[in-house]
Amino acid sequence: MRFDKARHGASALCLLLLLVLGAPLRAAELEVTITYLGRKEPPRIPLSLVEPVLEDEGVKGAEQGIKDNQTTGRFIGHDYTLRERIVPTDGDPAAELRKAIEAGERLFVVDLKAPDLLALAPVADEAGALLFNARAEDDVLRTKQCFKSTFHVAPSRAMKADALAQYLVWKRWQRWFLIEGSHPEDKLLADAYRRAAKKFGAKIVEARTYEDTGGARRTDTGHVQVQSQMPVFTQGASEYDVLIAADENDVFAEYLPYRTWDARPVAGSAGLVPTAWSRVNEQWGGTQLQRRFEKFAGRPMTERDFNAWLAVRGIGEAVTRSRNAEPKALHDYMVSESFEVGAFKGQGLSFRRWDQQMRQPILLVTPRMLVSVSPQDQFLHQRTPLDTLGFDEPESQCRLN
């Protein structure tokens, strides 16, 4: 009898092991295809040789997201596939989107700038597809030109500007010297800082434009020339507490720290930088994500990688919770109060109903240190402090849901 009990127990244990080990191998109950849609771009040459030239930025984040989705999905019968569609430099993303839709694809992580995204959105609306914007930060996409098919995972310029403004006001550095670049994106970023200053009670006491005249981005004797130019360029400014650089094209901002005429901190596009993600974030399990990504990609995760990863993870979380991969069902779930996705930033992230922008904390970082995270504790909101960043519902014309 004792022998039979032992044999019965061993059989039960073997059956349990077979069930557990066999779970990942069972046929998928739900197959989920996510398409990464991007454009072939010439690699951006960094100002410093310390930084690598990246040719796989964004797409590697999406690939990591698929790997993370599969970790959970294989135990509940959900199988995730990533299809990568990269159009040529002079290609037509809208035409590529139509081809993908004809092939049955409906969930898209879009790593494109605003003009391309605006061309895609009407096509997606008509087809009932969903676009997850992982790159375009333009505020107009959250205030005037809104589409029900489009969720914004990338934070807007206003969110980043507000995040930095809250910290500077908390520090009582309320007099700002704003230097903006001469490119259109720089102008939009500078406008976001002007709005943030007005919103939180700071004052721009001086504003100047740095003209991009082209030329070499790196030279052996470049530091000598910059060392003489930047003090002169910043000389004679009205009394200020902090210099704010609006330089999305990485032309001049990095040359400002320690070279200004007055001994003042630099923030914005250099110095203290607001960002959705940085390799310096080690809190809330961030190191775990960083190490997984570095092992997979062979390099640190950038903000663009993080946005694409978060878009894929957001889709995966919605599929897991709703047990549905149909675009309409996912859309309705993701704008509901039930949706929340973790992103190693201290709290769950959700989407705003009126403009479908993802609420999220913004990191304030230097090259080697996390300095702070906004929203700051002193800034309250009747719904959530995260809605103190960017355009709130009364400030936006969007009424999507």
pLDDT value for 3: 41
Alpha-helical segments (H) within 25-146: 59-76, 93-102, 114-127, 140-143
pLDDT value for 243: 98
**Do strands 175-181 and 78-87 pair parallel, antiparallel, or not at all (unpaired)?**
unpaired
pLDDT value for 223: 55
Sign of CA dihedral 92, 312, 398, 161: negative
Is 153 within 8 Å of 132 (Cβ atoms)? Answer: yes
pLDDT value for 146: 96
Q: Assign domain 27-155+276-360 to a CATH class.
A: alpha beta
Which of 192, 129, 202, 186 lies closest to 157, judged by CA?
192
Which of 55, 84, 80 lies closest to 70, judged by CA?
80
In order of 45, 140, 160, 204, 242, the CA distances from 190 in angstroms are: 23, 14, 11, 11, 15
Torsion of CA 30, 329, 141, 205, to 10 degrees: -90
What the block records as the tokens of 148 is 């029900």
> What contacts 261, CB < 8 A, 6 or more positions away?
231, 232, 234, 235, 236, 237
pLDDT value for 46: 77
Query: If DSSP codes are grouped into helix, strand and coil, which group holds residue 259?
Result: coil
Per CATH, the number for 158-212+220-275 is: 3.40.50.2300
Alpha-helical segments (H) within 107-173: 114-127, 140-143, 157-170
In order of 136, 171, 233, 237, 276, the CA distances from 207 in angstroms are: 26, 21, 12, 9, 26
- Please state at what angle helix 114-127 crosses helix 93-102, rounded to 10 degrees: 30
Phi and psi at 218, nearest 5°, equal -140, 130
pLDDT value for 23: 45
What the block records as the tokens of 307 is 């946005």
Mean pLDDT by 10 residues, the chain (401 residues): 43 42 59 97 81 92 98 94 97 98 98 98 98 98 98 98 98 98 97 98 98 67 69 97 96 95 98 97 94 96 98 98 97 97 96 98 97 96 95 96 94
The segment(s) of the chain belonging to CATH 3.40.50.2300 are 27-155+276-360, 158-212+220-275
